[in-house]
A and B are shown apart, each in its own frame.
Chain A
Amino acid sequence: MPDTFETKKQEKTVVTDVPREAGVDLRLPAVVPAVPYPIETLVPQVNQQTPAVGQRVTRPDGRMHGLGQTKYIDDMSFPGMLHAKIKRAGIASARIVRIDTSAAEAMPGVMAVVTGRDIPVNSFGPSYQDQPVLADERVFHAGDGVAAVAALTEQIALDALEKVKVEYEPLPAVFDPVEALQESSHKVHGTDTNVYAKKTIRKGDVERGFAQADHVFENRFSTQMVEHVSLEPHAAIADWDANGRVTIWCTIGRITLARGDMARTLKHPMSRIRMVGTVVGGNFGGKNEITQEPVLALLSKKTGRPVKGVYSRGEEFTSTTTRHPIIMDYKTGVTKDGKIIARKVRLVLDGGAYCSWSETTLGKAAILSAGPYNIENLDVEAYVVYTNKTMTGAMRGFGAPQVCFAYESHMDDIAKALGIDPLEIRLRNAFGEGSASPTGQVLHSVVVKESLLKAAERFGWKEGRS
């Protein structure tokens, strides 16, 4: 074994003197402060130990983060690189009558402009391909992109967006998921119904369960739309070379899927697409799909230069996926000693303008909605509907934090009404090894009771109030 890490003390100084012209946009490669660091003291011995599993080893990337040396996309630059910006519709539902890009294209420093009509196949999505890369005929939510500009600087690109003239014909819209369920509501995608996916789970006979119950509890819970708010926004650089091979450095956490989406939208063979997933500054489910990457690729193809795009914080909110608001109706039948014998759940997920990861979220929310409890009679129906709002998609927990808020709030209400301790009522109902899940799956390595007892013990639950 070479003793790589027993090297003598090394002093390394990072170059800080990056020349910068006055007035140039501050989005230059990050200037790293001089950090003379002795490498040997930074290598804890635990990383050298075997067996490796179970060790509290430090992350190699943690050292780079700590020293400010991680290269995120915004720290990367290539010779001749252009900066791209996307014009957002700002109107939630409309038909695009015309887009005039001539004034923008005539601006000095503007190198290329693309619109939705330039995208070879203008649709993508993991379940249904209902999302355009840039809106072409219709706008489905206010954060939709309608045109993109590549320019010498970010500021010129932003100025050029102002000169892109878009004429809209406003259309009716629907924003409330319950309203969207109604027959008379505006149909976001012109289909018969705004419901685009449904999930049902049925087990036993829920009505008989309610009839046998000593008490029946009902409540409605709802949650809001939230954003992932990763520290690093969505960012990418595309470089289309003279052989037609395009390389994309991107913040996407799923480059295999992203390459498939790029191949589809650009109508380009996979062998000519290289996706490089850089160190990502936070994902939480928000960076699982392509966003601006096909646009940057086309701008690079048009200009023959690398093109970088970095979303603003505003675009992070309005133009990327968010967490589903869910309206949750719970009805639960219990015996007088707190055993749940029947539960009926109705979920309505606000899917926003496009499907994205809604189908997955719907499935997980429906399956998990009964909680980690043995319930013989169960009836769950869950729907996800289109509205003219920012699309909802994957976010840490896929519907689980929403339904957990509902089933656990409901559980405490039941416990209080029956005069049972909240810990005790959970232990009475919780899954054990070999329990059957709501989908009839026999569960293994189940430790929900152990986790309840461990948390309660650590908290001092039984000792009473502090």
Chain B
Amino acid sequence: MNSKITLNQLADNIAKSTGSNSLTAKAFIQDLTDIIAEALSKGKSVTIKGLGTFSVSDDIDPSVIWHPDESLAENVNQPFEAFEPVELEEGVTEEILEGGGPQESTGPEMPVQDLPQEEQAVQEIDSETTQPAETHVIETPETSGNETDETTDSIMEMPEEVPDSTEHSEPQESEEQYYEAKPRRRSALNPWMMLITGLLAGFIIGYFSAPYIARLLPSYGSVQIPPTDPAESTGIYPDSISASELDDTESATVKSDTVSQHQATEPVTAPPVEVTDTVTQRRYLTTMARKYYGDYRFWVYIYLENSDIITNPNRIKPGTAVVIPPAEKYGIDASDPESVAEANEKIRAILEKLDK
């Protein structure tokens, strides 16, 4: 990442991939650049397949212009190929799109470099996001029914929220949050609180409509909502029991309880359920680690557990289902600084390996 590759490193790389030695590769690169430079000094342009065209500008002060090959530009831009320019509605301003923390601006594929920022942002929203969910679970025995309610509600809300924005609009250019869905959800937290209270009051309605909504859910596949799979909801189930006793405990400890409690009740609930989760464009390994273990740094264990399907933790295809290992397997404990340090050590080792 952002490192400078020298001629020797490049030569080594070429030698490895072509099976020749690095001295040959070095001589080759030097000859190649000489040939290009000679042709350019004669005013000719040079085209190399897969790399692009070098030409000389006809200014008073001539300089070399490089037009990257289309395939090269495409490959480099692969992380963003899913996006297309979006026409904005009248009255949508930057402030409305912004709303979120700084972590989205660097894109979904790079959770690791974002860690420091993400941590802050997540901590900021932590109290908001987890608390309502907790109280919600505590007060309603019918967890799974309401879980589906929540999801569909968020689906229904999202399209509505974009147009109902304020009137003023200024033609300014600045960095924008492209993933508007996430800030939307966050800023909608207060309405969420009211919504949840409304849900509790109208619990019976939710109870009866739950099976119907559950049937509707798969048809919303195109909307990027992290799917609530059965394993996840059973994971929360024991939590609701323990949480009702613990009441207002710190969210982190309750979260780690979730997994262990789940493990404990497993023999009783017959088939051992594997906890899985799905990576989406705004749901990273770090998000999951925070949810299941209480600290984002433990993403490294999820990565290790799934190393057969994930090669680069920075580049996980959205939609990849990953297995969440039980906390005991790696001795994960968010309140134990030693465990956190161990995770940090592992992260460093993995990043070093990737850098090579």
A and B found bound together: no
User: Which chain A residues have a beta carbon within 8 Å of chain B's beta carbons?
Assistant: none
